[in-house]
Amino acid sequence: MPILVPDAGPLITLAYAERLDLLQRLGWPVHIVDMVLHKLTRNRTPTSEAIATFIKEHALTVVTTKVWQHYQQRLADTAAGIDAAPRKAGLGELAIQEYMTQLGLEEPAVSAVFLFEDHKIARASFHLPDGVHRISTRAYLSFLEEKGWITSAEAIERLAVHKGRNFSQIRFP
């Protein structure tokens, strides 16, 4: 059974639509990477509390990465006046890639699906090991609709947009 690993974008979109439950619709384990969780909850946003509550209530696995540990150390060094503030941009993606690489090195390799929404990920040479696939939020919702598990992928997208989400226009299988 594959592991579903969502990036921040799909979590935000599903939270706006009040459909975070769809992450578990396939019955696969859902793993949240620590840097992604931090990105989603470090500031109060319209979705931060809903996402944090969902992860806690459903006891989703939060994966610890070296990227997170490095970021935490840089924050501590900054607070101690030793170093400048650490960068934040791209660390979620780096942490996800670290975790995907770890899964690919397991014997046997662990199958995973990386759920994303970011144009940069769709167009970048984001290396994923064998057995790890990527799918956009839109494609994931379309798949759930095709299986008859949701009535309309488009309705969920529209609801997220109506509630304030700037949903990606990318169409990627």
What is the model's pLDDT at position 86?
A: 64
Give the DSSP letter string of the chain.
Answer: -PEEEE-HHHHHHHHHTT-GGGGGTT---BEEEHHHHHHHHSS--TTHHHHHHHHHHTT-EEE--HHHHHHHHHHHHHHTTSSPPPP-TTHHHHHHHHHHHHHHHSSSPPPEEEEE--HHHHHS-----TTEEEEEHHHHHHHHHHTTSSS-HHHHHHHHHHTT---------
- Residue 94, pLDDT > 80, answer yes
What is the model's pLDDT at position 40?
A: 93
- Mean model confidence pLDDT for the chain: 85
Single pTM value for the model: 0.86
The fold of 3-162 is Rossmann fold (3.40.50)
Pick 128 or 52 by higher pLDDT.
52
